[in-house]
Amino acid sequence: MSDRMIEVEDLRISFSSAEVVKGVSFEVDRGETFGIVGESGSGKSTVLRAMSGLNENWDGRILFNGEAVPKRRSREFFRKVQMVFQDPFGSLHPRQTIDRILSEILLVNRIGDIDRRINKVLADVALPRTSRFRYPHQLSGGQRQRVAIARALIAEPKVLLLDEPTSALDVSVQAEVLNLLADLREEHGLTYVMVSHNLAVISHLCGRVGVMQHGHMVEQVSVEDLRAGNVSHPHTQELRRLSVGLEDLQDA
Amino acid sequence: MLVDIKNLRIAFTSRGKRFEAVRGISLSLGREKLGIVGESGSGKSLTARALMKLLPKTAEVTADTLRYDDVDVLKASERQMRKIRGGRVGFVLQDPKYSLNPVKTIGSQVDEAWREHKRGSAREAREATLDLLDQVMIRDPKKVYASYPHEVSGGMGQRAMIAMALAPNPELLIADEPTSALDATVQAEILRLINDLVEKRGMGLILISHDLPLVSHFCDRVCVMYSGQIMEEMAASDLMNAQHPYTRGLLNCMPSLMHPRDRLPVLTREDSWQEETAR
């Protein structure tokens, strides 16, 4: 078994005539966390959606665990790869209880032992058992994002794709969710790809970062190099300067 | 003094249960820059809206004093308030996508704001608007004037909103999370723009945000709100020496690029923060 969990080769995505992802390639090792930063419209979420199978209109190659995936994914694929979205208000069904939301993927995949699995996953994401029969609107934003993470975890995936998982949350709640993601990665040996526009958040969780601009991945650097300022592309330098500038205010 | 608030309380009743969302806030503001920071639900936006009498009828607003300059907001008529809103006080809201009218050009919306309060001809309005668009650093004012909101970027839309808020030459600008919907690169530009314009025109500013360091950079004074009360008020330059454990907790739990940590400290909320101090 190779150590590459994910390989993306020359990924191209167009919407009608506009090409929004223009040949993006990167690799992610097993257990690694790869971050993608960029401004809105740079194509970072579009890359993630193609990887997750939400968008079937792409060219290039995407490999999970050494196997090229087809455009239309098998049911089995979604047990291995799951996605967490930005807005926990929009990504949970408002008329379904947490119990129903979490059991859906188990029913679809004919995985048994639903009761035990739900209780375990709720404990994993540190939600009280009582939240199981609540509706999303009865939970806080942070709790809802925990439900979204629990839903992604319940089929025991190998890869989590995280699209701005904390940008809709308060900083205090963001800290809890980031800690939770770090713990889960450790416990379950997960591989993450995380998209964010916040360099501080990305650098907290990721080992390597890809910087996107206008549909190109203009640079890939390790977080250590990013911290030390060993970056070559002007856009990376600008993003770094802004992030450091804000932190300097705090230190001053 | 532009704004004087004493013991402001805002309550809502839902299904027979009364909930007090703002509990005894007092603050005053001259021609200075005040930041109000806090988590979602802390009551910071409600406070600003109460000052403009923009809360829904279901909100129960009481205060010992709620004055805008010489106007008693609690007793003021809608007619009086309409003069203040937009005219003497400009509002910039979070997301230009939702706060601009999608079926009118940007130019006509800024025109309207100007004409409503300045009463001039269409040609004068157009000239004023082009000048305003230029002041908010839009490079090609004529082009943006004729554009619809969906045709411009978020940063450009927010500049147009600022132009609209400034059109009647207000004394106070209330910016409610003006940059939260924007990219990091644009955020700094917009805040610098607001800051420059406020200083140049000698206006007051209320900047509402959840981002503590950002606010402290652009304001003279900062109020930290939690659960409907002001936990701490201080000069922005003293933020890093904040005393209250809540303020310290908020500052501490931010991830950092330059100072990596294995785990982020989590804010432990103490029950004592909930206790009312105003009464």
Question: Where residue B112 falls among pLDDT bands split at 50, 70, 90?
Answer: very high
The residue assigned the tokens 């406070």 is: B47
Residue B245: Cβ within 10 Å count: 17
Question: Where residue B266 falls among pLDDT bands split at 50, 70, 90?
Answer: confident
Q: Which among A182, A227, A249 has CB closest to B257?
A: A227
Write out chain A residues lying below 8 Å of B217, CB-based. Answer: 246, 249
Q: With 70 as the cut, is the pLDDT of residue A2 above it? A: no
H-helix segments, chain A: 44-52, 75-80, 98-108, 114-124, 141-153, 171-188, 199-205, 223-228, 234-251
The DSSP code for A190 is: -
CB contact under 8 A, A226 and B265: no
B215-238 confidence digits (pLDDT tens): 888 899 999 999 999 999 999 888
Interface check A123 vs B, CB under 8 A: no
B150 vs chain A: nearest CA distance in angstroms?
A: 14
Structure tokens at B55: 């809360």
Give me the total of CB pairs closer than 8 Å, taking one residue from chain A and one from chain B: 93
A14-34 confidence digits (pLDDT tens): 988 889 999 999 999 999 999
Asked if B86 contacts B117 with a C-beta cutoff of 8 angstroms, the reply is: yes
Closest CA to B238 of B229, B246, B247, B230: B247
- What is the percentage of chain B residues whose pLDDT exceeds 90? 59
CA distance A5 to A94: 34
Q: Which among A178, A198, A242 has CB closest to B188?
A: A242
A106-132 confidence digits (pLDDT tens): 998 888 899 999 999 999 898 888 899
Q: Which among B40, B185, B240 has CB closest to A250?
A: B240
CA distance A148 to A221: 29
Asked if A211 contacts A35 with a C-beta cutoff of 8 angstroms, the reply is: no
B183-200 confidence digits (pLDDT tens): 777 888 888 899 999 999
B61-82 confidence digits (pLDDT tens): 999 999 999 999 999 999 999 9
CB contact under 8 A, B258 and A245: no
Query: Strand ranges (DSSP E) for B39-115?
Result: 60-62, 65-68, 71-72, 89-92
SS3 assignment, position A49:
helix
Interface check A182 vs B, CB under 8 A: yes
pLDDT at A250: 61
Instruction: Show contacts of A127-133: CB within 8 Å, 24+ apart.
Output: A127/A98, A131/A98, A132/A97, A132/A98, A132/A99, A132/A102, A133/A97, A133/A98, A133/A99
CA distance B10 to B45: 11
pLDDT at B79: 93
Angle among Cα A49, A55, A58 to the nearest 5 degrees reads 100
Question: Where residue A168 falls among pLDDT bands split at 50, 70, 90?
Answer: confident
Q: With 80 as the cut, is the pLDDT of residue B278 above it? A: no
Write out chain B residues lying below 8 Å of A231, CB-based. Answer: none
* Averaged pLDDT of chain B: 90
Interface check A42 vs B, CB under 8 A: no
CA distance A88 to A84: 9
B23 vs chain A: nearest CA distance in angstroms?
A: 21
CA distance A248 to A252: 6
A242 vs chain B: nearest CA distance in angstroms?
A: 7
CB contact under 8 A, B250 and A171: yes
CB contact under 8 A, A170 and B39: yes
Q: Which residues contact B14 (CB under 8 A, 6 or more apart)?
A: none
CA distance A249 to B216: 9
| Average pLDDT of span A1-11 | 88
pLDDT at B90: 93
Q: What ipTM was estimated for this complex?
A: 0.78
Angle among Cα B141, B144, B147 to the nearest 5 degrees reads 155
Q: Which helix (H) or strand (E) holds B214?
A: helix B212-218
pLDDT at A82: 94
Interface check A18 vs B, CB under 8 A: no
Asked if A40 contacts B154 with a C-beta cutoff of 8 angstroms, the reply is: yes
pLDDT at A204: 94
Structure tokens at B201: 């025109």
CB contact under 8 A, A179 and B264: yes
pLDDT at B69: 92
Q: Which among B210, B217, B260 has CB closest to A170?
A: B210
Pairing between β-strand A67-68 and β-strand A208-213 as defined by DSSP bridges: unpaired
CA distance B273 to A84: 33
Structure tokens at A246: 């804000």
Residue B237, classified by CB atoms within 10 Å of its CB into exposed (0-12), middle (13-18) or buried (19+), is middle
Question: Among B257, B264, B266, which would you mutate to test the A interface (most chain A Cβ atoms within 10 Å of its Cβ)?
Answer: B257
A244 vs chain B: nearest CA distance in angstroms?
A: 7
Pairing between β-strand B221-226 and β-strand A191-196 as defined by DSSP bridges: unpaired
Residue B67 to residues B83, B127, B143, B203: CA-CA distances in angstroms?
A: 14, 34, 41, 17
Pairing between β-strand B17-29 and β-strand A58-64 as defined by DSSP bridges: unpaired
| Average pLDDT of span B3-21 | 93
CB contact under 8 A, A179 and B40: no
Q: With 60 as the cut, is the pLDDT of residue B91 above it? A: yes
Q: Max CA-CA distance within chain A?
A: 56
Q: With 60 as the cut, is the pLDDT of residue A252 above it? A: no
Q: Which helix (H) or strand (E) holds A27?
A: strand A18-29
| Average pLDDT of span B152-168 | 90
The residue assigned the tokens 């129903």 is: A100
Q: How far is CA A138 from the centre of its chain?
A: 25
Q: Which among A175, A244, A252 has CB closest to B264?
A: A175
* Backbone region of residue B42 per phi and psi (left: phi > 0; alpha: psi in -120 to 50; beta: other values): alpha
H-helix segments, B56-105: 78-84, 96-99
| Average pLDDT of span A186-211 | 94
CA distance A48 to A6: 12
Q: Facing residues of B231 across strands?
A: none
Angle among Cα B249, B252, B253 to the nearest 5 degrees reads 90
Write out chain A residues lying below 8 Å of B185, CB-based. Answer: 39, 238-239, 242
For the ranges A139-148, B14-23, B180-189, the lowest mean pLDDT is seen at: B180-189
Closest CA to A6 of A58, A68, A71, A56: A68
| Average pLDDT of span B164-191 | 87
Q: With 80 as the cut, is the pLDDT of residue B26 above it? A: yes
